[in-house]
């Protein structure tokens, strides 16, 4: 099956949002053309941080976004249904956390949501390639998950390219996502490696002017894609 290449999408992460005015921030980037946001879910066990519950997916859906819920949790099979019923369009689990990867991904699709699979930096990309046909999104972490504002790990880009090659060779309709330390200095490298979904927290909501920051990232990503 030939699947049209996807134009790279910049996906602001709520993790860097100002919780006292998150709705306002969401509306502002939406007005600038942002259509997809990422909700980083952390349980203090799989990663040493605690973040959002399903209510933040509900908030983002209320503001009209396509939403991926990135579950950095020790028991993703138990948590996935909560985020699916909160309206997440994509529920992404970590290959390191699930007991049975194929059944976890099929379980998410059975809930009527798209299934994402993420790999931490030290996890070989073969762990995702082995079940890529079951994925609607494949996520390469460019930082150790748990906190925003970390340094982008450029040595993760070969994993992105391996995913890109497999998605294209198999004609899969699957996003290739990069998350962690994405910003103006490295987004072109991530797109050139084959990413078409770029999660950015600090580089958007961590900036004084998130709208300008979003627009600059998007322009850079599209330029790198030859737009």
CA 165 to chain centre: 19
**Spatial contact of 9 and 199, defined as CB atoms under 8 Å apart:** no
Enumerate residues 6+ apart whose C-beta is below 8 A from 97: 46, 71, 73, 74, 75, 76
Stretch that binds ligand DX5, among 57-65, 140-148, 165-173, 215-223 (CB under 6 A): 140-148
**Spatial contact of 74 and 44, defined as CB atoms under 8 Å apart:** no
76 near ligand DX5, rule: CB under 6 A: no
Question: Residue 50 pairs with which residues in a beta bridge?
Answer: 43
CB of 199 to ligand DX5, least distance (A): 5
**Residue 150 Rama label (left phi>0; alpha psi -120 to 50; beta):** beta
**Closest CB to ligand DX5 among residues 62, 151:** 151
Residues 85, 150, 161, 189: which binds ligand DX5 (CB under 6 A)? 150
Which residues are catalytically annotated? 40, 179
85 near ligand DX5, rule: CB under 6 A: no
210 near ligand DX5, rule: CB under 6 A: no
116 near ligand DX5, rule: CB under 6 A: no
Residue whose CB is nearest to ligand DX5 in the complex, by number = 201
Residues 9, 10, 13, 88: which binds ligand DX5 (CB under 6 A)? 13
Among 5, 18, 53, 8, CA closest to 204? 18
CB of 35 to ligand DX5, least distance (A): 17
Report d(CA 13, CA 137) in Å as an integer. 16
Structural element, H or E, at residue 214: helix 210-224
146 near ligand DX5, rule: CB under 6 A: yes
Stretch that binds ligand DX5, among 13-21, 158-166, 170-178, 219-227 (CB under 6 A): 13-21
123 near ligand DX5, rule: CB under 6 A: no
Residues 8, 9, 10, 16: which binds ligand DX5 (CB under 6 A)? 16
CB of 149 to ligand DX5, least distance (A): 5
12 near ligand DX5, rule: CB under 6 A: no
Treating both helix axes as pointing N-terminal to C-terminal, what angle do 22-31 and 210-224 enclose, rounded to 10 degrees?
40
**Number of other CB atoms surrounding residue 138 within 10 Å:** 30
**Positions in the binding site for ligand DX5 (CB under 6 A):** 13, 15-16, 38, 40, 70, 72, 143, 145-150, 179-182, 199-203
């Amino acid at each position: 099956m030939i699947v049209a290449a996807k134009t790279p999408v910049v996906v602001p992460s709520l993790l860097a949002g100002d919780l006292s005015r998150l709705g306002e921030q969401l509306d502002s980037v939406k007005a600038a053309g942002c259509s997809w946001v990422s909700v980083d879910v952390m349980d203090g066990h799989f990663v040493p941080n605690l973040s959002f519950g399903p209510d933040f997916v509900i908030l983002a859906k209320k503001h009209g976004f396509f939403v991926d819920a990135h579950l950095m949790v020790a028991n993703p099979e138990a948590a996935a249904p909560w985020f699916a019923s909160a309206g997440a369009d994509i529920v992404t689990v970590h290959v390191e956390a699930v007991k049975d990867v194929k059944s976890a991904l099929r379980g998410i699709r059975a809930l009527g949501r798209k299934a994402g699979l993420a790999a931490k930096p030290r996890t070989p990309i073969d762990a995702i390639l082995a079940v890529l046909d079951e994925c609607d999104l494949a996520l390469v972490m460019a930082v150790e998950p748990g906190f925003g504002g970390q340094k982008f790990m450029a040595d993760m880009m070969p994993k992105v390219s391996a995913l890109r090659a497999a998605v294209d060779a198999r004609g899969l309709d699957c996003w290739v996502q990069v998350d962690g330390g994405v910003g103006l200095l490295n987004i072109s490298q991530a797109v050139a490696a084959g990413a078409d979904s770029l999660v950015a927290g600090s580089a958007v909501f961590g900036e004084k002017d998130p709208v300008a920051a979003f627009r600059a990232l998007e322009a850079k990503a599209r330029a790198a894609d030859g737009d």
